[in-house]
Amino acid sequence: MSTKTVPKVNLFPLTTEVNKQGHLCIGDCDVVELAEEFGTPLYIFDEFTLRHKCCEFKDEFCKYHPDTLVIYASKAFLNKALALIFKEERLGLDVVSGGELSIAHSVDFPLDKVYFHGNNKTPEELKLALDLGVGKIVVDNFYELELLNRLARKRGIDQNILLRLSPGVDPHTHGYTTTGTIESKFGFPLATGQAEEAVNRASSASNLNLLGLHFHLGSPVSEIQPYELAIELALGFAREMGKKFDFNIGEFDIGGGFAVPYTADSRVPTIGEYARAITDKLNSLVSGLGLNRPRLIVEPGRAIVAQAGVALYKVGAVKEIPGIKRYVCVDGGISDNIRPALYGAKYEALVANKALESEGNMVTIAGKLCESGDILVQDVNLAAARPGDIIAIPVCGAYSIPMASNYNALPRPAIVMVKEGRARLIRRRETYQDLMSLDLI
């Protein structure tokens, strides 16, 4: 394997190798053959990497805080096959809609381990959650608190809830995915007294059982300090509330947001480093403040699925603008991955059928959609790419698929799960017929 490609290869799933033909192999499957068999664009998920990440989160957090529940944040990507894997790995689930909840329910996911988030759950979604017996509902605002209590009373049940705090902590990430700051649309602000009022109302609500507190700062958060600060604020608040009301923090949910490296030069904390710092802070504050040790809930999405997923595209046109730019155009784009256009997200890329060739060509990988902003990777070093070559983009497992669209009426890609030399389709490619299947004349 050429040393030049090694840092990139490390971004790919844990089972990635390059075979004698110079083809990228994942889960013992030659991805060039997968592209041939299933077509492109194609998303590949490596089952070993997925399961490994689930275990790493459980092991690292439980090492320091045995009573930790890892709940996977479904918004990063959930379908039936993934939901089954998380069920087998005994994770809990964070859902934010009736749709995500229905996917979980369809595979008999244990609903007592489901946490229902969201800043504007509809009455229909709350009714569905109550009727299915969702374990915890994370209440975001006063409207929801009242509505949920009413719905629970009607059904004669006591619903377990957490309150979402808005701690006023800046996680230093993209503005679109920042949620910890005071002006955020999410949660009850600590600083304005609304969080205290929420504890007051929740603890006296007839049909709600206030189990604990939650915050989520943003995504991805590549610093550890914002977590430490927010934990300090939230637990200080918990102690105050314990003195004023009949409140004991049984569960403490510190959200998700754990960053992953997308490019060879990016440095972010490891899962172990996040776990160590978060549990250290929690454990020392709990004893210092004289609180009972709460159950810790962590909600990783990206850090579980991102590295497991790889996007494959076929090269069509290669366009040289002499002295200015060379475009390698592929058969997908912002319709299957909006992240570069929306957040300026950076990715690496590799020519999957030339993984051993030296990379001396600075190119821009463009999609096929009718927008100049449809660029998947700006300025990346690749082996010489020609029409028919297969481009592989690593770290595509999180948020690409769930944010995909049918812009320009492009069918959404197929998804395969690979494991030990076998590839199984876990979502078939959309057809032109699918695109019209909901239309009525």
When the beta carbons of 22 and 92 are compared against ligand LLP, the nearer one is 92
Closer by beta carbon to ligand LLP, 313 or else 399: 399
Taking the complex as a whole, the smallest distance from the CB of residue 190 to ligand LLP amounts, in Å, to 17
Which residues on adjacent β-strands are paired with residue 418?
Answer: 46, 423
- Complex with ligand LLP: residue 78 or 363, whichever CB lies closer: 78
309 binds ligand LLP (CB under 6 A): no
- Minimum Å gap between C-beta 14 and ligand LLP is 19
Site for ligand LLP in 330-369 (CB under 6 A): 339, 343
Please count the other Cβ atoms lying within 10 Å of the Cβ belonging to residue 132. 15
134 touches ligand LLP (CB under 6 A): no
177 binds ligand LLP (CB under 6 A): yes
**Would you count residue 399 as binding ligand LLP (CB under 6 A)?**
yes
Stretch of 5-13, 29-37, 53-61, 256-264 contacting ligand LLP, by CB under 6 A: 256-264
CB nearest ligand LLP: which residue? 301
Report the distance separating Cα 136 and Cα 134, nearest Å.
Answer: 6
Choose the binding region for ligand LLP from 152-160, 187-195, 296-304, 316-324 (rule: CB under 6 A): 296-304
CB 225 → ligand LLP: shortest distance, Å? 17
In the complex, least distance from residue 388 CB atom to ligand LLP, rounded to whole angstroms: 30
Distance CA(317)–CA(386), nearest Å, equals 8
**167 makes contact with ligand LLP (CB under 6 A):** no
Helix, strand, coil tally for the chain in percent (to 5): 35, 25, 40
Closer of 261 and 300 to ligand LLP (Cβ): 300
136 and 162 Cβ atoms separated by less than 8 Å: yes
Q: Which amino acid is at 280?
A: D
370 catalytic residue (yes or no): yes
Per-position x/- string for 188-207, each x denoting binding to ligand LLP as judged by CB under 6 A, each - no binding: --------------------
226 is an interface residue for ligand LLP by CB under 6 A: no
C-alpha distances in angstroms, 115 versus 138, 356, 358, 373? 7, 45, 48, 36
Q: Which is nearer to ligand LLP, 2 or 79 (CB)?
A: 79
Contact criterion met (CB below 8 Å) for 331 and 40: yes
Out of 25, 62, 329, 370, the active site residue is 370
Q: Least distance (Å) from ligand LLP to the CB of residue 73? A: 3
- Mapped onto helix, strand or coil, the DSSP state of residue 235 is helix
CB 13 within 8 A of CB 31: no
Terminal alpha carbon distance of the chain? 56
Long-range contacts of 368-373 (CB under 8 A, 24+ apart): 368/316, 368/329, 368/330, 368/331, 368/332, 368/333, 368/408, 368/410, 369/333, 369/334, 369/335, 369/407, 369/408, 369/410, 370/408, 371/334, 371/341, 373/334, 373/341
Whether the Cβ atoms of residue 16 and residue 31 lie closer than 8 Å to each other: no
**By the rule CB under 6 A, 65 interacts with ligand LLP:** no
Query: How many chain residues interact with ligand LLP (CB under 6 A)?
Result: 21
CB of 39 closer than 8 Å to CB of 414:
yes
Using the rule CB under 6 A, which residue among 23, 58, 113, 117 binds ligand LLP?
117
Strands (E), 143-260: 159-166, 188-189, 208-214, 251-253
Among 303, 341, 349, 376, binds ligand LLP (CB under 6 A): 303
Encoded tokens for 415: 């998804």
Residues with catalytic annotation? 370
Binding interface with ligand LLP (CB under 6 A):
73, 75-76, 94, 117, 177, 216, 219-220, 255-258, 299-303, 339, 343, 399
